[in-house]
Homo-oligomer: A and B are copies of this chain.
Amino acid sequence: MRIGEVAAEAGVSVRALRYYEEQGLLDAERTASGQRRYPPGAVDRVRFIQSLYAAGLGSKAVLRILPCMDRGVLTDDMYERLLAERARVQAQLDDLTATRDKLDDVIRLSEAHRPGRAHHAGADACATAS
């Protein structure tokens, strides 16, 4: 696949793919003229990279755990890192859950103070129209 196709299918920019390669996260074959060619699995790999970035991991952390995908065999270090990053993600999950619950509290309280109002924008069957 060419870089544009991968970018489109994975939902990222061409620049991002070049950046990933620069960071050692994504290899590509080259044609004789120097253009990148990707195997079909690259799309999933890019999606996974994105999800790791979204989980707050930096390029270095991603670089550390990506080799775990490539081989079934792991060094002790890689295994440790994998567990460490999982723990990070789980911690983030806990924090996020707490934050969501706080938001829910605020929403609930505000609804208690707005007894006459609709509780869902768009979900109100009340006579808003006409």
In the assembled complex, the CB of A97 is this many whole angstroms from the nearest CB of chain B, namely: 7
Closest to A112 in B: B72
A22 to B79, CA, bound (A): 44
Chain B residues whose C-beta falls within 8 Å of the C-beta of A80 in the assembled complex: 121
A86 to B104, CA, bound (A): 8
- For chain A, the bracket of interface size reads 35 or more
User: Is A1 located at the chain interface by the 8 A CB criterion?
Assistant: no
Chain B residues whose C-beta falls within 8 Å of the C-beta of A100 in the assembled complex: 55, 86, 89-90, 93
User: Is A30 located at the chain interface by the 8 A CB criterion?
Assistant: no
In the assembled complex, the CB of A1 is this many whole angstroms from the nearest CB of chain B, namely: 22
Chain B residues whose C-beta falls within 8 Å of the C-beta of A52 in the assembled complex: 99
In the assembled complex, the CB of A55 is this many whole angstroms from the nearest CB of chain B, namely: 5
Point out residues on A near B: beta carbons under 8 Å: 48, 51-52, 54-55, 65, 68-69, 72-74, 76, 79-80, 82-83, 85-86, 89-90, 92-93, 95-100, 102-104, 106-107, 109-110, 113-114, 117, 120-121
